[in-house]
Structure 1
Amino acid sequence: MASVRIREAKEGDCGDILRLIRELAEFENLSHQVKISEEALRADGFGENPFYHCLVAEILPAPGELLGPCLVGYGIYCFIYSTWKGRTIYLEDIYVMPEYRGQGIGSKIIKKVAEVALDKGCSQFRLAVLDWNQRAMDLYKALGAQDLTEAEGWHFFCFEGEATRKLAGK
């Protein structure tokens, strides 16, 4: 098996990150919702006050191979605040290309996010998953996550576009 490295994304990775975001959207049957651009990823993740942070999974070439490292997965996270628990890290996306699944790459990304959470003094690590993605839910539970929909009945809501403008009176 090839060697896998999980590392912080660099600005030059944004093209590959966008490719992987589009693959994730296709996997989730939500391709029509992807509006982000490579330029926005650069501006929002690598400026003075980044809106997000990103880890990438790359396959490293074997000694003597001419190909360079290849990005095969990513995890985008940000910091939020819980009024009950304090500092929290939220994993917005995690994705591993289908041909690389089952090799522990997703678990390595999740474990790295957990390390970041502890290093930053977070008391929680949150993420959401579509209700049909049983494989992901099983993985998260196996890693020790609690399903808050089952345990506490939480539902997530989103104001977007016109709803946000109307709410803000604009």
Structure 2
Amino acid sequence: MSGFTIRRAVDEDIEEIFRMCMELADLSDDGDSVKTTPETLRRDRKYYECFVAEEATTADSASQPLIGYALYVYTFSTWDGRSAFLNDIYVTPDHRGKGIGTDLLRTVAQDVLDNGCVLMEWCVLNWNSNAIEFYKSKGAFDLTEAEHVHIYKMPKSSLEKLAK
């Protein structure tokens, strides 16, 4: 038996998911840019799916902090049909290299397939060579390299200006 379990997130996991989200942002030196709060995650729970990883425990042991999560949303591609966008996949530093990331990604892949999706996309920061190699080893490819696609982002201030 592995030393961890993967399960669908529940409302009681929100604080821990947020903690790991902040750890991930801090790794990117972007912690100050996070606008989401635990309250936002709780309020908008119907807009995303999430699986979490936790250490395997015995029935009488106290609950322990979560050690990973994968958060994603369902989307639609006009070329391909139903799809998913993986916002985050994160495993705490002390628990990397144990297959947790692979099991999280595998669980998400099965869930999106079960829900009729034909593809899943995500973004990776170009400096994160470990993540890039991890994803490539699972069969993913770099859309920017392969199809010369660039992803753009329009913040709320620009949306508001455009909408006027």
TM-score scaled by length of structure 2:
0.95
- Are 1:57 and 2:64 matched, yes or no? no
Structure 2 partner of 1:144: 139
**In the aligned structure 2, how far is the partner of 1:89 from the partner of 1:112?**
13
Structure 2 partner of 1:10: 10
Structure 1 partner of 2:157: 162
1:88-121 per-position Cα deviation (integer Å, ceiling 9, x unaligned): 0110001110010111111111101110111011
1:35-60 per-position Cα deviation (integer Å, ceiling 9, x unaligned): 11111111111xxxx11111101112
Amino acid across the alignment from 1:147? D
Amino acid across the alignment from 2:96? R
**Does structure 2 conserve the Cα–Cα contact (< 8 Å) formed by 1:8 and 1:54?**
yes
Ranges in structure 1 where 5+ consecutive residues have no aligned partner:
none
- Are 1:24 and 2:6 matched, yes or no? no
Q: CA deviation at 1:163?
A: 0.7
Secondary structure in 1 matching 2:139: coil
Structure 1 partner of 2:40: 40
**In the aligned structure 2, how far is the partner of 1:22 from the partner of 1:65?**
30
Structure 2 partner of 1:83: 78
Structure 1 partner of 2:126: 131
Secondary structure in 2 matching 1:107: helix
**Does structure 2 conserve the Cα–Cα contact (< 8 Å) formed by 1:51 and 1:78?**
yes
**In the aligned structure 1, how far is the partner of 2:60 from the partner of 2:143?**
46
TM-score scaled by length of structure 1:
0.92
Question: RMSD of the TM alignment (CA)?
Answer: 1.5
Give the fraction of aligned pairs with identical amino acids, expressed as a percent.
40
**In the aligned structure 1, how far is the partner of 2:156 from the partner of 2:42?**
22
Superposition misfits of 4+ residues, deviation over 4 angstroms: none
**In the aligned structure 2, how far is the partner of 1:159 from the partner of 1:100?**
35
**In the aligned structure 1, how far is the partner of 2:8 from the partner of 2:61?**
24
Q: CA deviation at 1:68?
A: 2.1
Structure 2 partner of 1:121: 116
> Which residue among 106, 112, 130 is the counterpart of 1:111?
106
**In the aligned structure 2, how far is the partner of 1:77 from the partner of 1:2?**
24
- Aligned residue-pair number: 164
